[in-house]
Amino acid sequence: MAMWALLSGLRGDLTVYAAVQAELRRQRVDTLFVLGDLIGPEREANALLERLQQPRRGDLQPHCIYGWWEEQLLAERGFRGERRADALRQSGGEAAVAALLQAVDPGHMAWLASLQFGFVELDCALLHGSSTDVGDSLTADTAPLQLLDRLTRMEANRLFTARSGEQFCVELCGGGIESRLRDLEGERQQHQSVPSRKVIGVGSGLHYTLYDPGSDHIAFRRAGGPIHATGRGFV
Amino acid sequence: MAHAVISCLHANLAATEAVLCDIDQLGIDTITCLGDLVGYGPQPNEVVELIRARQIPSCQGCWDEDIIEGLNSCECSYPSQLAERRGQRAHHWTAAQLSEENKAFLASLPLSLRRDRLLFVHGSPNSQHEYLLPDMNAFAALERVEAAQADTLFCGHTHRPYVRELREGVIKMRLRRAVANPGPDIEREVDLPVRRIVNAGSVGEPRHGGTSATYVIHHEQDDSVEIREVPYDVERTCQAIVAAGLPPLFAWRLRHGFEYAERADDASHVCER
């Protein structure tokens, strides 16, 4: 079975995306998932968004979901009912909201609004944050009970997350819990074991993750570095 | 000291009066209500006014919220479209009956109440619409209590009373980091805390297989919880349901104490609105 590549946190950086695509061409990867944060306030994201929607020859077709930054933009532009980019406004102020609006041409909004919260492929959930929220930041230090809860909510064996930007793999590999229940029918006891599960942080920008669903092998990668524009137009 | 926890009164005055009478007879003067004062039943104003008159601290239930905010939950709350239509009929009837003052009272209710390490909510700490069923995944149940920083979580919503203690939990984990996020690979065992979920059942629309109203008493001295069943004049409520023009099925299920009628199809689903 061929591998998946999972990346996130491009934040409008076409150079980074091109570097990852170039590297993926040399690997046995057949499916590319971009787990949100395609855009950000730092730079204009239009060129990247165009390439994601219309891949160049040789590019792996990207399967994109929305991330925290898209959620903020969609809210601010009225795609989330009465909600606005409150979280961004709180953390970055009006300047950050203005920069984000500036970074994306309104012509891309319909495509951004069409992106899904996540994918479920085989027994894997591919999300930006977690099953509770796009902004839920799971890290290597998140309490294992919380990780197990996020997996349980999705009924998935593997949860790929991107929000923290970290690359990590937490494997839940044993344990259990006793539960004593008393109701009008009487009392009963139950033991539940911890199922074998993994939460994988896929990284951000040049840091991406390869996953082989056949062997369950995970490899953390860093693309060789930015490819600068050349006279022949490789960007 | 003991305190009583009641939930899901559902505009059933006869049941509410019977339960409050039982609590009074036991000499308990601290009562907490977990919401759903209205919905399904025929006396929404009377029940709200009784709770207000007794100054019983209450949190807001899903029906209380829907009456104030308008119906905007997804289809997850009902097992069928027919059941959903009945629920909508009851919603519109209740909204039309409730006085503005009583609506303002429901709107003022908090989503949770806290007393030290005891937390009181309607559904779960996440949502008034989430069901914490007695057989839900034990780790997920523990997470709801732990994330809310409580030792004991009192909830309602399922209409089935229970006490569930979660103990001796341990999770073994193996952590691998990437070079970009340096740190050693580690293996460890994490001990989980002992926590408890207490579901108060339902005063006005029981679904435990019998017709009695249910509630719980928490004895603080030994931290024990007692599940109480209180018989009440079911027929009085059933006749009022029919007289009010509410769906007769609401009377039928109260009269028979059916366990499954109108229960959400996918109770573990969290309503996404």
How is chain B split into domains, by residue range? 2-166+196-256
A 192-221 → B contacts, CB under 8 A: 192, 194, 203, 207, 220
- To the question of pTM greater than 0.80 for the whole model, the response is yes
Express each pLDDT in B142-171 by its tens digit.
999 999 999 999 999 999 999 999 999 999
> Taking CB atoms and an 8 Å limit, are A171 and B208 in contact across chains?
no
> Taking CB atoms and an 8 Å limit, are A181 and B134 in contact across chains?
yes
Express each pLDDT in A28-48 by its tens digit.
899 999 999 999 999 999 999
pLDDT at B196: 98
Mean of pLDDT over chain B: 90
Q: Binning pLDDT at 50, 70 and 90, where does residue B257 land?
A: confident
- Nearest Cβ partner of A144 from B164, B179, B190? B190
Instruction: Give me the mean pLDDT over the B192-216 stretch.
Output: 95
pLDDT at B122: 96
What distance in Å separates the CA atoms of residue A36 and residue A33, rounded to the nearest whole number? 9
Q: Which CATH class is domain B2-166+196-256?
A: alpha beta
What distance in Å separates the CA atoms of residue A103 and residue A70, rounded to the nearest whole number? 11
b/e sequence A101-123, b meaning 16+ C-beta within 10 Å: eebbeeebbeebeebeebeebee
What distance in Å separates the CA atoms of residue B48 and residue A212, rounded to the nearest whole number? 58
Identify which of B244, B253, B209, B217 has the alpha carbon closest to the alpha carbon of residue B25. Answer: B217
Least confident of A162-171, B124-133, B186-195: B124-133
Measure the CA angle with vertex B96, ends B12 and B86; round to 5°: 65
> Taking CB atoms and an 8 Å limit, are B177 and A168 in contact across chains?
yes
A83 and chain B in contact, CB less than 8 A: no
Structure tokens at B29: 């003067």
Contact residues, chain B, for A178 at CB < 8 Å: 166-169
ipTM of the complex: 0.90
Least confident of A146-150, B179-183, B223-227: B179-183
Alpha-carbon B58 to chain mean position: 11
When the candidates are 3.40.50.300, 3.40.50.720, 3.60.21.10, 2.60.40.1120, the CATH number that belongs to A3-222 is 3.60.21.10
Category of A42 on φ-ψ map: left (φ > 0), alpha (ψ -120 to 50) or beta: alpha
Helix pair B100-108, B44-53: axis angle to 10 deg:
60
Express each pLDDT in A46-75 by its tens digit.
999 999 999 999 999 999 999 999 999 999
Structure tokens at A155: 């009924």
What distance in Å separates the CA atoms of residue B177 and residue B183, rounded to the nearest whole number? 6
> Taking CB atoms and an 8 Å limit, are A180 and B175 in contact across chains?
no
Return the H-helix or E-strand segment holding B141.
helix B138-147
Instruction: Give me the mean pLDDT over the B14-21 stretch.
Output: 98
Express each pLDDT in B77-97 by its tens digit.
666 677 778 888 888 899 999
